[in-house]
Structure 1
Amino acid sequence: MTYTDLKNEICNTWVQLSAEQMAQVRMALLDISSSVGQYPRMREISKCSSLASALILLEKWKLLTPQKVDIILQLTEHVGPHTGMIRGLIEHYKKKTFPTADTYDSEETHVQQNPVPHDPVYNRICEYLSENLRGRWSDLGRSLGLGNLVTELFRDPAIRKKDKVYQVLEEYRVRVQGDPIPGLLQALQGCELNLQRKHILREILS
């Protein structure tokens, strides 16, 4: 069984979810994003209309990969009476793919750990910038290489600027390899947001 086969088997279990089941999936996504320290991505979560789109979102967050599949159980445990079957599919996939794989409990513990270095510090930086960027959030987003996201956020006037800052910073954290703080400081310097950069260095990182 391949990784794609596993996802297809699970999605075929619920070809069409009821409104109540889809609400359970969205609640699970919210819990998952919060448990690993991500800013809840309500706009992305609200767009999920199927189990397949929920799996794609977990992959985007790098929480679901061919090596980390137990998160699917957390996503589907309240959707319907198929938890045992889903667990069986996952265990079968792991035995075929990783003959010496750890147990479900050990992988779940790994998933719950925050993979981002300095996470509490980065959260403080996000909070500070969300209150102090004013109209410059788009400049920072482009400097971080997130021009497409900036354009998308511009098109949605219902999102507060504060929340747009959070979305840009969290998207950067998801995409960057390793510690996001050095790249963020460099982007602030590139945008000539020197007051904000100095505050972060002196008041948060010192």
Structure 2
Amino acid sequence: MSEPDDLPVAGTAVLLRPATGGIEVLLMRRPDRGSFAGAWVFPGGKVETGDRLDGDGEQDDARHAAVRETREEVGLVIADPVALSLWQPPAQAPVRIRTWFFLSRAPEAALDLSADEVVDAVWTSPERALSRHAAGEWTLFPPTWMTLHGLCGMQTVDEALEAAGTARNFTTRVIETPAGTVFEWDGMRLETRSLPWNLVAG
């Protein structure tokens, strides 16, 4: 098994825009193939050679990847994304990629979806996205679910960006229990046996 520093790195962009009563995020559905088959995710992908600019560190490489992937996948050009979180994959994951999540204010432009990588895309409130997952309508992966949960209740884009602060490190542990699969991070447990998922703070 590779050590954490040897893992591939990716960048993900969580795009925000103002909406009546709060904020909306951009979620897109992947095709029914690959690691995220049919799931609703934020734009993003692995760091490529062109993302490694001027000897920048890993976080900046991931930031460049998030910006590039957002342009390629949904046609939006974003600037100055703020680091939100770093997700370390569990040891048993079939594909292990360390992923940085970034928050960004969305530009006022129309979406231009990549036919190869995006089946659909919608602007929705974090609360509505979690409700669709709870009803079994949408597939979400734990990092997406946790990010949406953290954005619930935010009233403005500025509030969400200011609340990001220092990027939080989520080192994921997956535990199989008689009650089902549990995802653990420092001080938190996400119980996924049945819908809706249940987040328990330690």
Could you state the TM-score of these two structures normalised by the residue count of structure 2? 0.26
Point out the structure with the larger strand share: 2
Could you state the TM-score of these two structures normalised by the residue count of structure 1? 0.25
| Greater gyration radius | 1
